[in-house]
Structure 1
Amino acid sequence: MAGERVQRRLAAILAADIAGYSRLMGADEEGTLAQLKAHRHAQLDPKIEEHLGRIVKTTGDGMLAEFASVVDALRCAIEIQRGMLERNADVPLERRIEFRVGINVGDIIIDGGDIYGDGVNVAARLEGLAEPGGICVSGRVQEDARGKLDIAFEDAGEQQLKNIAWPVRVYRVRLGGETTQVRSAVALPLALPDKPSIVVLPFTNMSGDSEQDYFADGVTEDIITGLSRARWLFVIARNSSFAYRGRSTDVKQVAHELGVRYVLEGSIRKVGERVRISAQLAEGTSGRQLWAKRYDRELSDIFAMQDEITETIIGAVEPELGKVERRRSAGKRPDNLDAWDLYQRGMSHLYEYTKEDLQRARQYFVQAIAKDPQLGPAHSGLAETYYYEGVYGFAESISDNREKALAPALRAVVLDAEDAGAHCTLGRAYYMRRAYDAAFRELKTALELNPSLALAHYGLGATLLFSGRAAESIPHLTAAIRLSPHDPNMGSFLVRLADAAYFLKRYEEAAEWAMRALQQPNFQWSRYTVLIAALAQLGRLDEARNCIDELQAKRPNTSIAFVRETHLFGDTASFAHYLDGLRMAGLPD
């Protein structure tokens, strides 16, 4: 055996796995397996065979294949990923199977039907760097395939891959046109910010009563708000941290997915008039626990306890800066615990973003204000219900909602001028009225008070876009995505990027952002209209008309007149260009 010659050959290696496989299996084992088998039978296996590849082996959540040609391997991966987009179009986001693909070319060792070697290991590491639905390749693959396929490559730089002795040049594949700064800002891995960064995961309700979930959510949100007041901290937005609610989480995985150094998690047990909170702070890169503490208090002390937890975290994360910033962690607290309770119940409905939930949230906010008229966040919440009814098309009259949102938003700022969220809400109420100068003022103030407020970055980006400054809007929109990569408002973040690309006449990019927006939950008519306009500008009129049919099925009688009345664009030339695209596609006047 020692003298037996090892069989080697040069090959292109494709490694693929399923993003979030453990979560999918935990939610529905049989359904996930059935989906996976269907995708393999109809999509993966036929494509690999069509492009002259060989499946080397499969695992529960992935596969390894080899090709004689780099171009064949890459073409196969591209067609698989494009096909998966179509297959997932009608699948709810939380149930979608999305593959990550890595491709490398190198010398491999053949042993029976299996393959080994650094070339295989690099492909597997590249797959781990790919985003769901994406493809990562090595520099050698990029060199061999460049100019031979209708794709572009984004240079992700040299990466030190695990257990690989030398750095590897990594490229991400774009499937639909030229590389742009906008795309790369979101698609690249989430590097650690240049200041201490943290995510606060939703505290688990241990009370044995699901009706108390809102209480645990409220405590979590207050801690996030308190931490955000420390300007030297980078704090992941509430909406993205709450994407992990009810999931079994691994500290290191969460830290990697969100690009943060610290993770806070805990639990709450509320029994009668007493409450117990347990909290643990861990370092995300190692999973090492930095501290843990249990608090047993009377319910009447809940706000003081939240402040204590916040101050302790700040002190643990950065002792010296913590001494300076501790006093900023405590904002204005409600005078009435019952009002705070009603407010938190309202927030639990607000974030569902359905017509019925928004109406229910409004009832709770009104009740909270009746209990404590000085509770500023309840006024902001009331304004937000009118805002989201307008955004999602639930409002009977968009002009009425514009008026109704303003008064409570103004009142929230009067009650607490240091509340970044109040200024953010007021800024968005202003741009609903196309009062862009006032919106700029409020949103800039919000970011001065809390640089980690994702919705304020989004609001400022939207205001710049609506007022005709598309190029300036992009950094703020991408900042919102970085701060809240799992935000339920992601559809809005993405559609504004689509609008910006359209106004900059980057129509391929606009269509791509719009299609990504359409994959997000909740219906938003503007996701369709920008896609329709972009497709028309590209000459893809049949596709544009199909989109019109789909839009009309979901929102009958959508017309140019409706878009003109409802959209928030104030720059005349930009808006005219937008409407031209819709007319080219055949949207009725």
Structure 2
Amino acid sequence: MGWEILLIDTVRGDQTPRTFSGSVVRVGRNPDNELILKHSQISRLHLTLSKEGEEFFAQDSSSNGTFIKDATGSWQRLQGKVALQLPVTLRLADWTAHIEHEAEDDWDRSVIIPAGHLVKRVETVLVFDLCESSRLANENDHLALHLKTRLMQIAEPVLHEFGQRFTKGTGDGFLATFPSPTKALAAAVELVRRLQQRNSRTVNEPIHYRIALHFGEVWGISSGGEDIHGNDVNIAFRIEGAQAEVFTAPLSEFPRMNRLMCSNALLEEVRKAGPLPAAVDAIEIGPANLKGIHDPVRIFWLKTT
């Protein structure tokens, strides 16, 4: 446990997770630093992260600067020693660094299994599917690979900006979890916006998508890595793939793809924190009999403007 830093190379798209147990992490070109970054715009001691009691700080000592987003979403250069509200994303040279700090494992350890441990959280699950990927792969596997790569280049900064806790690829998309339902919704809306923007600006094949959000219990297993399971994870996947025939009443309007859908459970949690974002209109589609799920699930189509 300690500092958890995910470095994202904004030029190549590479991601490098790093973990540091000490209270101080020095970043720069100096080989004695905990985190060594080699780049002409990185100073020997570029940035120092520190934990002092229950507070976290970043101190920039570089020539070219370390940058943090302000309340308006604009990048601002750090000046001296600055208190941090974690998780936070910083920018330095060609990297963005998503920074968290884990004081202790807060999973419920009431269930232990050999070669790993089963643990539980209540979280929001986001499932993303890249539509028509099989057709694209059959017609042009290079194009299919390009679209998957471009999708992750768009999605990964969004997921980290809004505080995702866990993510993994699913072949034709990805699964992510968020501690905050409101941030999960904000991430999904921003992802839709960026995909629509990309599709409108390119002559290449559009990225067609289905996104689903659900709130519930998530069981994780750690055994040489981490994965998540559970009925609520299954519900999120079933919502993502739902088509008109699973609903108990006939539908007059139902998009097959390019849609963002959620469960009533997710919507209730978001509304506890306040009204929906102005750009989101929640349209109830109705109860759905999802495969493998015992009770019908109320599903909403979240139309964005």
- What TM-score, normalized by structure 1, do the two folds share? 0.28
SS across alignment from 1:165: coil
Deviations 1:75-128, CA, capped at 9 Å, x for gaps: 1011101110110114458x2221210110001111021111011001101111
- Counterpart for residue 132 of structure 1: 257
CA distance in 1, matches of 2:203, 2:260: 22
> Would you say 1:173 and 2:302 are equivalent positions?
yes
Which residue among 121, 127, 142 is the counterpart of 1:9?
121
SS across alignment from 2:301: strand
> Would you say 1:46 and 2:157 are equivalent positions?
yes
Q: 1:39 offset after TM fit, Å?
A: 2.6
CA contact (8 A) 1:11 1:68 kept: yes
Which residue among 210, 229, 234 is the counterpart of 1:116?
229
CA contact (8 A) 1:14 1:73 kept: yes
CA contact (8 A) 1:56 1:115 kept: no
Structure 2 letter corresponding to 1:145: V
Deviations 1:148-170, CA, capped at 9 Å, x for gaps: 31211010110010100110000
- Counterpart for residue 161 of structure 1: 290
- Counterpart for residue 57 of structure 1: 168
Counting aligned pairs with the same residue, the percent is 28
Q: 1:6 offset after TM fit, Å?
A: 3.5
Which residue among 146, 159, 163 is the counterpart of 1:34?
146
Q: 1:65 offset after TM fit, Å?
A: 0.3
- Counterpart for residue 354 of structure 1: none
CA distance in 2, matches of 1:18, 1:2: 35
Which residue among 50, 65, 77 is the counterpart of 2:188?
77
> Would you say 1:97 and 2:207 are equivalent positions?
yes
Deviations 1:380-419, CA, capped at 9 Å, x for gaps: xxxxxxxxxxxxxxxxxxxxxxxxxxxxxxxxxxxxxxxx
CA distance in 1, matches of 2:150, 2:218: 31
- Bigger fraction of residues in strand: 2
Q: 1:3 offset after TM fit, Å?
A: 5.5
CA contact (8 A) 2:213 2:263 kept: yes
- Counterpart for residue 34 of structure 2: none
Q: 1:55 offset after TM fit, Å?
A: 4.2
- Counterpart for residue 180 of structure 1: none
Deviations 1:21-74, CA, capped at 9 Å, x for gaps: 111111211122123212312x10000000000343102211100000111111
- Counterpart for residue 277 of structure 2: 149
SS across alignment from 1:102: strand
- Bigger fraction of residues in helix: 1
SS across alignment from 1:107: strand
Structure 2 letter corresponding to 1:119: D
Q: 1:120 to 1:128 in 2, by over 3 A?
A: same
Alignment of 1:363-378 (within 5 A): none
CA contact (8 A) 2:166 2:178 kept: no
Deviations 1:277-297, CA, capped at 9 Å, x for gaps: xxxxxxxxxxxxxxxxxxxxx
CA distance in 2, matches of 1:24, 1:54: 31
Structure 2 letter corresponding to 1:50: E
CA contact (8 A) 1:48 1:55 kept: no
Deviations 1:350-392, CA, capped at 9 Å, x for gaps: xxxxxxxxxxxxxxxxxxxxxxxxxxxxxxxxxxxxxxxxxxx
Alignment of 1:191-206 (within 5 A): none
- What TM-score, normalized by structure 2, do the two folds share? 0.54
Larger Rg: 1
CA distance in 2, matches of 1:25, 1:54: 30
SS across alignment from 1:30: helix
CA distance in 2, matches of 1:33, 1:121: 26
CA contact (8 A) 2:111 2:118 kept: no
SS across alignment from 2:165: strand
CA contact (8 A) 2:126 2:212 kept: yes
CA distance in 1, matches of 2:151, 2:118: 36
CA distance in 1, matches of 2:207, 2:135: 11
Alignment of 1:320-469 (within 5 A): none
Alignment of 1:535-550 (within 5 A): none
- Counterpart for residue 345 of structure 1: none
Q: 1:78 to 1:2 in 2, by over 3 A?
A: closer
CA distance in 1, matches of 2:297, 2:221: 26
CA contact (8 A) 2:218 2:229 kept: yes
CA RMSD of aligned residues (A): 2.0
SS across alignment from 1:9: strand
Aligned residues: 174
CA contact (8 A) 1:55 1:63 kept: no
SS across alignment from 1:89: helix
Q: 1:137 to 1:2 in 2, by over 3 A?
A: closer
Q: Which runs of 5+ in 1 are unaligned?
A: 177-589
Alignment of 1:198-217 (within 5 A): none
CA distance in 2, matches of 1:64, 1:157: 24
CA distance in 1, matches of 2:125, 2:111: 27
CA distance in 2, matches of 1:35, 1:6: 35
CA distance in 2, matches of 1:3, 1:33: 39
